[in-house]
Structure 1
Amino acid sequence: MTLTAGRNTIEIQDGKTLVLPMKANTRIYEGSLVVIDSTGYAIPGKKAEGLLVAGRAEEFVDNTGVGNGNGVKSVRVRRGVFKFNNDGTNPITATDLLKDCYILDDETVTMLAVGTSIAGKVLRLDNGEVVVEIL
């Protein structure tokens, strides 16, 4: 079926801020790169395959301790354009503009694609840091 007249498609949220359930025994610090693991829970960014980049944490959330299982706590994550540290071993350079970059840890991106997951697109370098678009 296709529309034959206008439709009020309701916006639920702005699409840039997500509230994601966290994995058990996890701490996510504000400003860190956040990913979704294979179980569907938010964890800090790390070097691993199969992770889905979610965005930058807007807050510190500690989901460790007794009774804090998967999904007990949630973290607010923002999608957009952010600056992260550049990997010293496999650095992003000016020739990498608009290419995918990859997650090294929760504050660092790299050009090393092996054994890693995509962080986002390189928009520019800024005083040695990398400006990354996370959609």
Structure 2
Amino acid sequence: MPEKSKNNLIDAAVKVRENAYCPFSQFHVGAAVLTDTGEIYGGCNVENQSFPCGWCAEVSAIAAAVSHGHRNFVGLAVSTNAKDFVAPCGRCRQAFAEFTQPEATVYLVNCDGHVKETTMRDILPLSFDLNECQRSKGK
């Protein structure tokens, strides 16, 4: 990924983290996806008193991009207010896998602004692929 795209993607995730609504966990998360057309969409986590009804930052960013007609992502950045690097939860990994390739770049950003670079394949090596299931029918 070009350095400018990388920096813009990471900056978007860090900036949108400020909008996180997390009165219960105080765990602020911002995420941004980079589409194959170069557009960036961000999202933050939103908690709810009915705990299972909240949503993650990654899903917020994915939904924003999909809502604007995008279906192919080339990168994801996730920024948290934690000292350690925090990877997306399983649900978010699978959601991102739905719209990207295994080689897609994933950036994890901690509260100090340090960045860890990885790939979709590394964070979800055995993603569920409905196409594989459909191809294997009848075998």
Larger Rg, first or second structure (1 or 2) = 1
Q: Could you state the TM-score of these two structures normalised by the residue count of structure 2? A: 0.28
Is the strand fraction higher in 1 or 2?
1
Higher RCO, 1 vs 2 (CA within 8 Å, ≥6 residues apart): 1
Q: Could you state the TM-score of these two structures normalised by the residue count of structure 1? A: 0.29
